[in-house]
Structure 1
């Protein structure tokens, strides 16, 4: 197959192969066309047998009067389709296995069991019983996205296509989803920037690279290992061939016009060389361009940088208390990841520390010279979409007069050539994130507050971000659903829960194990699934 989008060739003469019972992780750099490939499959622009139903999770559920629970259970269309298919297969006297699978799915969609199953899935994705009965129009986009994800899991289609399903989830829901998907029996194709998640769910990896699809068996770690071995062997072969060619060319040049015997040998070598060239030479391994992020030197300020003294906070006078009597300090050597369920107040805490919100009680004292850079999901909304990244940065930092100097600065964040001068609205989400990082870094903050910085970034960019954070001289507080990033940069884990903050005694992976064991206690269905797996 080949795939073209707006005249740009994303795939050229490659093979798409998906097998039942496999869970594929689709990976590749930002902008290679992973989401476009998923859309092409979802829209059946590639030949897919009709009996295979596809659910492609693309957007959140629209606001409506229906409750979250009702929305997940409404699958009558699905039931009708399956009944028709069962009838057709029975009529054709088709394979027994296919029929059994359809009857199994019809049983799952049975109205008596439907409510229990729908409720269990919503609970796993963070919905309390009260929230399950709340109308969709009363939820934010992120929560409506979770409802759409719950529908996909409830329907259990023959082919499930998920594009960054963890983007709107907290760590608890990520762990639940990982456990849920690792028992998916049909075809799953998943785009994710979280290596940890890919490791937990995938049986195979598809790498989209150089307009081709390359297939690897095993999870993400296995893919990295196999790819390194293959590339090593490829380079050995490449060097051997190049040495042979150089040797033969040298011989032909020296003895091609010598004595009859030597000339004959030279002609023979020339024929061997032509054969080698005709049968195709081994290509040199070309690595994906990796970039390095950079946070400029911020200088030092003596501790304490920020002191939180007896702070309590609620959003309104009669609203629930989010925090009660918080007491802690942070300095330039702070490296903390904030974890805890959705709604526990992780983002709220960062807003309190920056001064965007004021405590209801208590006091937050900040050093008079401290500069705080906060990265959050709505930072993209402040970009001027009609300007190019170069124009936008020149406008924000007028003290940098030279265009060439600004080009170099933006280049540090992986925006090169045309991307620097195209209107920001034409950039992908991942590229817009990079403009935000460039803008943030050049404020030279002493403290970095990063709220879900990995959404829309590819794996390579996340690694570059981790390196830059580790090289940064200032302090850092992180909210993320990416276990691997937390593992790379955080020295302490703080759990936000029940109006307070407690330090976790182990690392982030021991916290993940704690969440898993909590899930098992909570959800007997998962215990059974884990046992089966």
Structure 2
């Protein structure tokens, strides 16, 4: 028997549903005319929202300060459109909708996905439940981004009432301000109103109507400006930047606008592929806090264990062309997977022992006395039943990598001296640094942290000699070699060459292909990947080519500017191990808290035109950022 409180709740809910139905019935008749008049425009807008395309790199935050956008935008957009079209044409997806067409959950059975004839998923199931936040993980090149793209393009049978936003490209430059771009969701509001009207006339479930009207209330124009401004602020936009035209931002900042738009729209299914790639630590912490309250369906690809732990309620592991599901965040996934694999190996070993014992018995006594022969026949039948019912498979672990930075030799300190250095990009721009004084040697292991625009990448360029100080001097040892990894390094790759051909071209002193194959193999590129055109590799695999290229320059100092973008978790761990074994110095700019914790001995905060040393660890710095965000939210 139901408690009285529940009965009352049901009654209240029923009354509320009736009010919603009444509201829908009373919607102005001219609304339909208005929607009909804007039908084509809204359809086009929705197509733009759902469109999924590849993002080729991000502009540096310093470019934003110069107000420059590299390249011909129209030409680049057309090229990306054609590239995505070629990917779709090379992709084949099959699957059957197993959930009810009106359900808010998505269950697809018999899902298969191939790309250029390579099977990425085979006869597996996709299960996405409303209210869950999924972390999609797996090795580089296994098809994570391809799966998200297929979902975003509705190449899998997603019911039409579930709207999808797949974030993959920055907003295009325009005369509109950042704030205007985020607030432009009229097409979404029209779609929701139309769907609410349809459900009301069909006497559909009250629960779905309630959700639609809640979302319409969220998109209320009176609240739109305040909410859009709050989201942009969280992603690092000052009030002045929010009023700035999109054409004056770099690609990285326009990507943040696209992310703000996704958070503002609040689609039923949100697909995010490495959303932290364009963010600093402050914005990463804010985004983590924002996404952990997402109430619909979120599917997230991220290389950051820390971020996955903070956001996800479930983990989907893409492994051996299957999707395997785990409850909990990333740490819970690791624990559960270890326990399952331990039990699986125990079962596997037990079965193999039984099979070996029975085979030996059959071989020894199968032709012996009648009694022994009967026992042997009995064991043979038992063995056949075991095989027929399916044997436990051996656990196949993810491939382990072993990155390598060759020995660089010793250089006596000081390797680099920074003396009274100040810097600004021009007389019209604010000063980035004033009177910096420090030195770095081969035992330096520093992580640079601070908000975007504070000058982290600028500092590395100054130390490299790519930029010259406005005042002061930077002295470098005459023999020092510096290797800088940055997020545009993949742009130097010759896409028509294979990784093997590219490395042989860059390092002609290595004559033997087999020797170069071994070198490239250390960075996780094996077999066909080494001889396939670089353009066919995933973003993560292209990054591995860059690491191989960088390492064989044999540098004394590693300057790593966001090295984890597009890498999987296993590759990041291999990179961390290689850095720790490297005998030279390192300076790191990264939004990955775990990598910083693994490799940095010091943390320098770049902020307010200077550099200060943080005297605690990176996790304490994260808590500091959380406290700052909480204070700002409370003040608002």
8 Å contact kept, 1:183–1:529: no
Higher mean C-alpha displacement, 12-21 vs 131-140: 131-140
TM-score (norm 1): 0.96
Deviation at 1:101, TM superposition (A): 1.6
Deviation at 1:43, TM superposition (A): 1.7
| 1:272-305 CA-partner distances (Å, limit 9, x unpaired) | 0000000000000011111110000001111111
Change (3 A) 1:473 1:209: same
Change (3 A) 1:528 1:363: closer
Indicate yes or no: 2:346 matched with 1:236.
Answer: yes
Q: Distance in 2 between matches of 1:394 and 1:126?
A: 42
Deviation at 1:384, TM superposition (A): 2.1
Which stretches in structure 1 are left out of the alignment for 5+ residues? 519-525
Deviation at 1:49, TM superposition (A): 2.3
8 Å contact kept, 1:292–1:412: yes
Indicate yes or no: 2:381 matched with 1:268.
Answer: no
Higher mean C-alpha displacement, 385-394 vs 12-21: 385-394
Change (3 A) 1:530 1:99: farther
**Secondary structure of 1:321 counterpart:** coil
Higher mean C-alpha displacement, 86-95 vs 111-120: 86-95
Which stretches in structure 2 are left out of the alignment for 5+ residues? 1-110
**Secondary structure of 1:308 counterpart:** strand
Deviation at 1:439, TM superposition (A): 1.1
Q: Distance in 2 between matches of 1:405 and 1:257?
A: 55
Q: Distance in 2 between matches of 1:39 and 1:409?
A: 32
Deviation at 1:17, TM superposition (A): 0.6
Q: Distance in 1 between matches of 2:150 and 2:503?
A: 36
Q: Distance in 2 between matches of 1:266 and 1:68?
A: 79
**Secondary structure of 1:104 counterpart:** helix
Higher mean C-alpha displacement, 192-201 vs 137-146: 137-146
Deviation at 1:532, TM superposition (A): 18
Change (3 A) 1:462 1:422: same
Change (3 A) 1:443 1:478: same
8 Å contact kept, 2:315–2:328: yes
Deviation at 1:88, TM superposition (A): 2.1
Pick 1 or 2: higher relative contact order, CA cutoff 8 A, min separation 6: 1
| 1:356-407 CA-partner distances (Å, limit 9, x unpaired) | 1111111111111111111111111222222222222222222222222222
Matched with 2:421 is: 311
- The size of the alignment, in residue pairs, is 526
Deviation at 1:113, TM superposition (A): 0.3
Deviation at 1:528, TM superposition (A): 11
Higher mean C-alpha displacement, 41-50 vs 232-241: 41-50
Matched with 1:108 is: 218
Change (3 A) 1:162 1:529: farther
Change (3 A) 1:477 1:225: same
**Secondary structure of 2:407 counterpart:** coil
**Secondary structure of 2:363 counterpart:** helix
Higher mean C-alpha displacement, 384-393 vs 99-108: 384-393
Deviation at 1:417, TM superposition (A): 1.8
8 Å contact kept, 1:179–1:530: no
502, 527, 531: which one aligns with 2:630: 527
Deviation at 1:158, TM superposition (A): 0.8
Change (3 A) 1:20 1:527: farther
**Secondary structure of 1:287 counterpart:** coil
Q: Distance in 2 between matches of 1:193 and 1:501?
A: 28
8 Å contact kept, 1:163–1:191: yes
Deviation at 1:105, TM superposition (A): 1.0
Q: Distance in 1 between matches of 2:446 and 2:164?
A: 41
**Secondary structure of 1:309 counterpart:** strand
Query: What is the correspondence of 1:59-74 to structure 2 with a 5 Å cutoff?
Result: 59-74=169-184
| 1:300-357 CA-partner distances (Å, limit 9, x unpaired) | 1111111111100011123210000000010111000000000000000000001111
8 Å contact kept, 1:466–1:488: yes
Q: Distance in 2 between matches of 1:417 and 1:39?
A: 26
Higher mean C-alpha displacement, 137-146 vs 464-473: 137-146
**Secondary structure of 1:320 counterpart:** coil
8 Å contact kept, 2:141–2:537: no
16, 29, 44: which one aligns with 2:139: 29
Deviation at 1:529, TM superposition (A): 13
Q: Distance in 2 between matches of 1:394 and 1:217?
A: 46
Higher mean C-alpha displacement, 285-294 vs 198-207: 285-294
8 Å contact kept, 1:194–1:484: yes
Change (3 A) 1:49 1:423: closer
8 Å contact kept, 2:306–2:593: yes
**Secondary structure of 1:319 counterpart:** coil
Deviation at 1:130, TM superposition (A): 1.1
TM-score (norm 2): 0.81
| 1:421-457 CA-partner distances (Å, limit 9, x unpaired) | 2222222211111111111111111110000001111
| 1:247-280 CA-partner distances (Å, limit 9, x unpaired) | 0111111111111111111111111000000000
| 1:48-90 CA-partner distances (Å, limit 9, x unpaired) | 2222111111211111111111111111111111111212222
| 1:94-143 CA-partner distances (Å, limit 9, x unpaired) | 33222222111111111110000011101111111111111111111111
Q: Distance in 2 between matches of 1:112 and 1:455?
A: 38
Change (3 A) 1:504 1:527: closer
Change (3 A) 1:83 1:295: same
Deviation at 1:527, TM superposition (A): 5.2
Q: Distance in 2 between matches of 1:79 and 1:382?
A: 43
Q: Distance in 1 between matches of 2:283 and 2:273?
A: 16
**Secondary structure of 1:15 counterpart:** strand
Deviation at 1:530, TM superposition (A): 10
| 1:218-254 CA-partner distances (Å, limit 9, x unpaired) | 0000000000000000000000000000001111111
391, 402, 422: which one aligns with 1:281: 391
Matched with 1:522 is: none
